[in-house]
Each structure stands twice: as C-alpha cells, then as structure tokens.
C-alpha cells in the first residue's frame, strides 16, 4: 500500500492514530483477485480488455476510497493546543522523550508551588528539599504525573522517533 499520503500529517497525529489502532494501511491484496478478469470467460480480446479496464478503474476507486477513509480518521484528530490532541471527545498529550521530561518537571514544579508550599508555614519552607521531593515523586514514572486519566504512559514509534502518549 502506498502510504505517501501520511507524509502530509504531523508525526504526533500518526503516533496517536497508531495508539488508537486506527487502520493506516488498508489491505488491498486480499481483494486483488476480484479485479482480474479471466481471459477464458470472454469471446473476444476487445471484450476482455474492456472488462479488465473497468475492473482496473474499480480497483483504483476502491484504493482512493480506502485512502479517503484513513485521511478522514486522521483529520478527526484535532490539535487543541500545544501537544494536546482530541479524538472522539477524548484528550491525549503526545510528546517526544525530551518534551515529556520537560513537561514532567513542569508539572512537579507546579505541584510544589501550588499545593505543597502553601501548606508549609513560611518559617519552615526553607527546610523543604524540592530536589529530594521530585526524586521521590519520579519513582512512580511520568505517566503518574502526566496522565490525569489513568496514570499510564504509552509509546508509539514513527519514523524512528518514539512518541509518548498520555490520556487526559
């Protein structure tokens, strides 16, 4: 199957489509025999060639329809903002490894600033070791902090790049 049409899409969209198990490569080979006329079934070469030409057109139309179906699915994956994508009302965060590490660090910093520090009296805040707290928090993995839905991290590879997916 010619998948050159996928070149028009962001690799993160393709990674999410793979994770969602959308069919990005329709299998035409299983129907190839349908599109071949059997010469013995026709009285003349002209009739055989006309029929084969019609079958070739049908085959090409079937390929175009399959590609349209795949592109419609890909087009339904919407980039809402930054690295957040939506598909069928569900949101996903799609990141490279370094982006995931940066986002993880940001989430942990935000948690410290908004949740932990306001609960610690001012005169004791200097005793709080942010580095140690982050080290402990990282034991649960990135998914625990980045996936607000199930705490899981999923990985998909596209063109030798691994993308990490978090359901929000």
Nearest to 134 by CA among 116, 108, 115: 108
Q: How far apart are the first and last CA of the chain?
A: 33
**99-114 pLDDT per residue, tens:** 999 999 999 999 999 9
Cα–Cα distances (Å) from 122 to 128, 132, 150, in that order, read: 11, 19, 34
Instruction: Spell out the alpha helix ranges (H) of the chain.
Output: 11-19, 45-75, 97-111, 130-137, 142-146
**138-165 pLDDT per residue, tens:** 999 999 999 999 999 999 999 999 999 9
Do residues 25 and 3 lie in contact, with contact meaning Cβ atoms separated by under 8 Å? yes
Taking the model in full, what pTM does it have?
0.79
What is the rounded CA–CA span in Å between residue 41 and residue 92?
A: 54
**52-97 pLDDT per residue, tens:** 898 889 888 888 887 888 888 899 999 999 999 999 999 999 999 9
């Amino acid at each position: 199957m010619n998948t050159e049409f996928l070149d028009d899409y962001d690799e993160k969209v393709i990674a999410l489509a793979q994770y969602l198990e959308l069919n990005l490569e329709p299998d035409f080979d299983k129907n190839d025999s349908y599109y071949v006329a059997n010469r013995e079934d026709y009285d003349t070469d002209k009739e055989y060639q006309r029929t084969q030409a019609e079958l070739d057109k049908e085959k090409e139309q079937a390929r175009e329809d399959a590609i349209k179906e795949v592109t419609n699915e890909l087009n339904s994956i919407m980039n809402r903002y930054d690295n957040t994508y939506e598909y069928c009302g569900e949101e996903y965060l799609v990141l490279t490894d370094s982006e995931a590490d940066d986002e993880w660090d940001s989430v942990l910093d935000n948690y410290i600033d908004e949740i932990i520090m306001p609960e610690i009296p001012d005169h004791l805040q200097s005793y709080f070791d942010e580095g140690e707290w982050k080290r402990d928090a990282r034991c649960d993995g990135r998914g625990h902090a980045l996936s607000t839905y199930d705490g899981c991290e999923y990985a998909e590879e596209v063109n030798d790049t691994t993308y990490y997916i978090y359901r929000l």
